[in-house]
Amino acid sequence: MRWISILVSALVLGCQSHNSAPSNDDVNSNCPKVLEQSRAVGIDYVPTLRRAAKGDDAALSQLFQLTGSDHLDADAQQCHIEALAELLNRLGDLEFATALASESADTRRAVVNGLVIELENLPSADQSRQAFAERYPHTAATLSP
């Protein structure tokens, strides 16, 4: 997950050991498109990401709905998926899946498909989906009807 893991850690949890909280400017050099494009649809990405990392269902929903939307271009979408992957690992499979389960089928599909590609980049799509389902069974199950 390259630099996004460090970024999310710094934004969400790393500040706990520092006196100053990071601002949107801290992210701007790494992923400016996510900030800019999410702001255009009324989502202040960094504070939303912080709330989501604490299990805030409304913040998670905002981030989930941004996934696969026309609001993010490919670069911003990649950065966003990396942030969701970090949230999945921080919150755990069950908590993440519980929040995701309340979203539309299209949103669930966009989130899970993005995560499968990000976290389980194996030679075939079937192998990647199977590995993801073994590692994150609750999140994978959100694709079931």
For the chain, give the percent of residues with pLDDT over 70. Answer: 79
Residue positions counted in the chain: 145
Confidence at residue 31, expressed as pLDDT on a 0 to 100 scale:
80
Which of 69, 129, 137, 49 has the alpha carbon at shortest distance from 101? 137
Q: Which residue has the higher pLDDT, 25 or 74?
A: 74
Tell me the domain boundaries of the chain. Answer: 2-20+28-141
Confidence at residue 145, expressed as pLDDT on a 0 to 100 scale:
64
Distances, alpha carbon 118 to alpha carbons 108, 114, 128, 129, in Å: 15, 6, 10, 11
